Structure 1
Amino acid sequence: MIASINPSMKAFSVLIPGILLALTYDFFTPLFYLVFILIITFTLSKVSFYRWIKIFTPFLLIAIGFSWMTMLYTSEEFSGGHVLFEVWRFEVTSGSFETGVSLGLRSLCFVSLSLLFVLTTDSTKFMLSLMQQCKLPPKITYGILAGYRFLPTFQQELQLIRQAHRIRGVARSKGLRDRIGLFRRYVIPLLANGIRKAERVALAMESKGFSGESKRTYYHEMKINPRDWLFLFCMVGSLVTIASLSSYFGFLNIFGKQY
């Protein structure tokens, strides 16, 4: 279901909650919104849990590091409350602990929202939606899409160049000077091939009548349906509801002020 949502609407559905979450400094709001994102991700999409956790795990470790450093180096504005424990000469108070946990949970919410968008969105449809709904100029959009399509080919060409060097008996780099020379031997052919491909793509687009004008017809038209608006209201409304509950129970904290 999420994969069929209009990509531009999906981007706004991810961006707006991310901006609103950045204003909160309590742990209640991002914790329950993170649970909501996970439920949406694994019930309304076909995202593989193994693939998701494989991408998510490095960011989880980074978020734990952010939380720990925030607990130790929290500013005076957020470090109030009684001392929970000490680490060497650092005192972790209830305020610094809550701020650190909040930062970690917010980071995980940002990562989860990003994965929800990236793993359920087709890049071509996203570019088409940016042109048709957000009025992004076709020259920029097709340029980004062409560059994105070229990335896998560069990796294949790099492997071919390495194999060609090995066949010709080029020795592997040992010192810093050799590594710099090896870098030049790899980069120059890749750049030359990239320029040739860009010229061929440009000539092909011109021969098919591409002029870069915004007023044009599209073979595949992207439309905004009621379910797209429903998804947007669901993502934003759930965050507002959780923030309201957080305020009701006395947890909501925005820029250090309790609500």
Structure 2
Amino acid sequence: MIHSLNPTIKAITVILPAILLSFSFDIITPAIMFIYILILTFFFSKLNIKKWLFYFIPMSFFALGLAWMTMLYTDDKYATGPIFFSFFSFDIRMGSIIVSMSLALRSLCFIGLSLLFAFTTDPTKFMLSLMQQVRLSPKLTYGILAGYRFVPTFKHELDLLKKAHRVRGLGRAKGWRNRVEHTRQYFIPLLAGAIRKAERVAIAMESKGFTGSKDRTYYTVMKIKATDYLFFIIMLIILIIAYYVSYRLGTLNIFGHRIMP
């Protein structure tokens, strides 16, 4: 399952194909990759499909909107072929439709890869993997982890501040000026609390012997297994197959340059 893969290898497996996929301006290449991403999401992960759709559908509207604007304002280099239809003063050519559909499919691939990584990766294990495999500074990684752990407490403290203001008769702010003033009243106590928490965490880490040295032992050891390399290799193979299929069909387009077999 994807949940058990090494987070660093998983991140590389997600980022590298996304970068390579951005070179393609045809439809076939991102379509094949998107189908493979859906197979990974639905059959090789323990994701809650309803939760995945809750995030994917709003983001897909952004991708469709981006594709629509691209279709209307396509560069002359890509707006080739016969006029497919006209929209007000815009003449939509076949090349514009292909480029916009390619952009939409690539955006969906990026969204799918991002959600796949975010929902199958434990943040703590990801930070530990960055320390152990990438040799990232423990000071930076533990600082990020501490900040990440503080996020839920900030929401709780903000709710307490709002209730305290209501008890004192302040109520809800009306008008943008009053809302800005209320935001300032919330911001200063939250900032002061964050500083106190950061100081307490720093003192606690120093008292436990934390020096920030990279030569340290870990309670949880992150290892790279054969399945991690297999996941990375298969992802690249699928991408190569997608490019090859598009090339054989005569649709491969790299930055506006059609590559024919």
Kindly provide the amino acid, as one letter, of the partner of residue 201 in structure 1. V
Percent identity of paired positions between Structure 1 and Structure 2: 53
Which residue matches 2:243?
243
Could you tell which deviates more after superposition, 45-54 or 179-188? 179-188
Paired position in structure 2 for 1:256: 256
- Aligned position for 2:7: 7
The 1-side partners of 2:254 and 2:175 are apart by: 53
Shift of 1:180: 2.3
Give the superposition deviation at 1:85.
0.3
Is structure 2 residue 229 aligned with structure 1 residue 229?
yes
Deviation, structure 1 residue 245: 1.0
**Which residue number in structure 2 is paired with residue 130 of structure 1?**
130
Deviation at residue 141 of structure 1 after TM alignment: 0.5
Which residue identity does 2:24 align to in structure 1? T
Taking the aligned partners of 1:167 and 1:20, their CA distance within structure 2 comes to 56
Confirm whether residue 185 of structure 1 aligns to residue 199 of structure 2: no
Q: Distance in 1 between matches of 2:148 and 2:188?
A: 20
Displacement after TM superposition at 1:87 (Å): 0.1
The answer to which of 232-241 and 167-176 deviates more is: 167-176
User: Would you say 1:218 and 2:225 are equivalent positions?
Assistant: no
Q: Distance in 2 between matches of 1:222 and 1:177?
A: 51
Residue 85 of structure 2 aligns to a residue whose secondary structure is strand
Report the CA distance between 1:17 and its aligned residue: 0.5
Q: Structure 2 CA distance, aligned partners of 1:172 and 1:218?
A: 48
Equivalent residues in 2 for 1:26-45, closer than 5 Å: 26-45=26-45
Cα deviation, 1:126-155, whole Å, max 9, x if unaligned, reads 000000001110001011111111111101
Letter in 1 for 2:205: M
The corresponding residue for 1:46 is 46
Which residue does 1:66 correspond to in 2?
66
Which amino acid letter does the alignment assign opposite residue 89 of structure 2?
R
Cα RMSD over matched residues?
Answer: 0.8
Counterpart Cα distance in 1 of 2:254 and 2:235: 20
SS in 1 for 2:92: strand
Q: Does 1:194 align with 2:191?
A: no
- CA deviation digits over 1:138-193, x for unaligned, max 9? 00101111111111110111001101111111132223332222111100110011
| CA deviation profile, 1:185-228 (whole Å, cap 9, x unmatched) | 10011001101110111011000010001111111110101110
Deviations 1:93-136 (A, max 9, x none): 01011000000110000000000100000000000000000111
Q: Distance in 2 between matches of 1:176 and 1:48?
A: 39
* SS of equivalent residue, structure 1 residue 92: strand
The equivalent of 2:92 in structure 1 is 92
- How far apart, in 2, do the equivalents of 1:244 and 1:30 lie? 12
Question: How far, CA to CA, are the matches of 2:153 and 2:210 in structure 1?
Answer: 24
Q: CA deviation at 1:54?
A: 0.4
Consecutive aligned runs of 4 or more in structure 1 exceeding 3 Å deviation: none
In structure 1, how many angstroms separate the alpha carbons of the residues matched to 2:185 and 2:28?
54
Q: Deviations over 1:14-51 (max 9, x none)?
A: 01100011000001110111011000111111001100
Residue 79 of structure 1 corresponds to which residue in structure 2? 79
Pairs aligned (count): 259
The AA in structure 2 aligned to 1:43 is F
Q: Measure the CA separation in 2 of the matches of 1:97 and 1:108.
A: 16
- Write the deviation string for residues 233-258 of structure 1: whole angstroms up to 9, x where unpaired: 01111111111111011111111111
Q: Which amino acid aligns with 1:82?
A: P
